[in-house]
Amino acid sequence: MPAGDIGVECDRAVWLSFRRASAPEVITWQKRRIFERGNIEEERLLDLLRMVGVTVWGEQDRVRAAGGHLRGKIDGRALGLLEASKTEHIVECKSAKQEVFRKVAKEGVKVGKPEHYATFQFYMHGLGVNRVLYVMTNKNDEDIHMERVEYDAEFAMRKVARIERIINTPEPPSRLCTKRDDFRGMFCRQAEVCWGEVRARVHCRSCLHATPLMDGNAGWDCARWSKPLSLAEQDAGCPAHLTIPALMVGYEQIDCSEEEETITYRSPTGDIYVDGATNAT
């Protein structure tokens, strides 16, 4: 689970993402250029700090929590800021369009971009650092907003505890949105699976036999075969796959066979669907 998900408001969206229920995002060349621009901007901002005498190191230091399932990496660490020359800071670099930038510059990151605030609070919590230097650039005019933020232990621990709860929940939590056209879910990548417009992908993380382990190594265990699961095995699934029933949104469970290892459903259109060994791919 990427650290950025800690700031996602909907528990169900976080759970579905962690379970890889939706089809993988298609990374177009345009998206690649967007990612590349973000990396370039990060390096520029770190270089600007160095130019004014700030010591910067620790680029891409990694942070883990929730049994190793929640992971992230920082942009860097800094020492020698004018406002607090002896205080180590984690550096978080972002760029944004003008509308977002103005909101953050006016209201501060906690209000203007709460998902960023949640992410770097997790970084401070995991690395034992008490300050963040949050830097955002305006993509329109290259204006820069800088903000020093203190570690909020209670906030960070609540966020990590929430992620642990979501990870250990065997079924998808309730939706944040009550309607399909709710603006809060309009651009959610999990929406089609969430609302039952498509079925969840067939692999171990969508199977009722699989359980995430809180072992520190982001492990998964299969109760059907009584074995740990590698990442390759999780992606591949197996012939004994059975979709977590709560993922069959809109389907009515009408039968099951322990001997044949199948569950039978009636679809919203009245068709009969038998989930079991023959459906694994």
pLDDT, the chain, mean: 94
Helix locations, the chain, DSSP H: 11-18, 29-51, 98-107, 109-112, 114-127, 153-167, 191-194, 231-236
Q: Is the pLDDT of residue 31 over 60?
A: yes
The β-bridge relationship of strands 131-138 and 89-96 is: parallel
Neighbours of 88 (CB within 10 A): 18
Q: Is the pLDDT of residue 168 over 70?
A: yes
Q: Which two tokens stand for residue 51?
A: 């130019």
The per-residue pLDDT for 281 is 39
The secondary element (H helix, E strand) that includes residue 92 is strand 89-96
Q: Is the pLDDT of residue 110 over 90?
A: yes
The per-residue pLDDT for 278 is 58
Query: What domains, with CATH codes, occur in the chain?
Result: 3-164 (3.90.320.10)
The type of residue at 227 is K
CB–CB of 91/133 below 8 Å?
yes
The per-residue pLDDT for 129 is 97
In the chain, pLDDT over 90 holds for what percent of residues?
87
The β-bridge relationship of strands 55-57 and 144-150 is: unpaired
The upper half-sphere exposure of residue 36, i.e. CA atoms within 13 Å in the direction of its Cβ, equals 7
The per-residue pLDDT for 177 is 93
CB–CB of 95/146 below 8 Å?
no
The per-residue pLDDT for 280 is 40
Q: Tell me the pLDDT tens digit for each residue of 220-229.
A: 999 999 999 9
Q: What gap in Å lies between CA 222 and CA 233, rounded to an integer?
A: 10
Q: Is the pLDDT of residue 91 over 80?
A: yes
**The model's pTM:** 0.90
